[in-house]
Homo-oligomer: A and B are copies of this chain.
Amino acid sequence: MFSLNERIAELRERVRQQRPLIHHITNFVVMNDTANVTLHIGGLPVMAHARDEVAEMVAAAGALVLNPGTLTPEWVESMRVAGKRANELGIPVVLDPVGAGATTLRTESNRRLLEELKIAVVRGNSGEIGALTGMGGVVKGVEAVVEVDDPVAVAKALARRYGTTVAITGPRDIITDGARVFGVDNGHPMLKTITGTGCTATTMIAAFAAVERDYALAAVAGLACFGLAAEQAAAVAHGPGSFKVALYDAIYNLSADQIRAGAKVVEL
């Protein structure tokens, strides 16, 4: 466990040194939040969705985030164009299948992205990942209201089907590339009281995927750092408004020493 924490601490510094551009094609709700978090963790954000420019924009990026949280067919088409170019260039694509399972459009659009693109990491809640595998879970809006029975099995199934890394976030985050399985026990219930924390977690993963080609490790690092910052924020917050402010402060200030001491990561 010491060795994993040490590697995460090193990766966090690497993000700060390399300042990777994280190209987001994402939903309207969280654009401001995920742009900020990209900066706080040490990257550079850009939000660009025009079909005419996404291929050119992504070529400069260290990672591409696809988040169809307020999707239309036109936006999904831009995601495919950008994703294909990222695949050609070897730039990691991180998918957040927001609300998969809630409507046919969401489930099908996310499945198609998984089928047509090489996705480095998929991060969702238990219901969303369950919907994509067809192995249970219920999504209401964008929330998992019924969890899958066995998140490790579900995550592994999706990872193997698409040759990707899958992260299911929850009280214990589960991350697997289909072979190795990691658990991250950082985090805090206050994360459920503000919107877009799943999307923000995805952005954290993308920032790490931009600097580390072991995408399972990148996902573990992103989620451990995010959860650790949430723990620090909850300790000083009076409610969700001040929690969010403190969370962003904590992401920015998160030090290698805090990660070494506080990351709670296990290989299962």
Q: Which A residues are within 8 Å of any B CB, using their own CB?
A: 21, 23, 27-33, 35-36, 38-40, 44-53, 56-57, 60-61, 69-73, 99, 102-106, 140-143, 192-196, 237-242, 244-250, 252-253
Contact = CB atoms under 8 A, between A and B. Distances in A.
A26 B247 CA distance: 27
A194 B49 CA distance: 21
A51 B72 CA distance: 8
Contact of A39 (B38, B45, B52, B195): B195
Contacts of A51: 72
Contact of A239 (B28, B46, B99, B250): B250
Given A140-B44, A239-B250, A249-B241, A50 B31 contact: no
Contact of A28 (B47, B102, B237): B47
Nearest to A27: B47
Question: Closest 4 CB pairs between A and B?
Answer: A239-B249, A241-B248, A46-B141, A35-B195
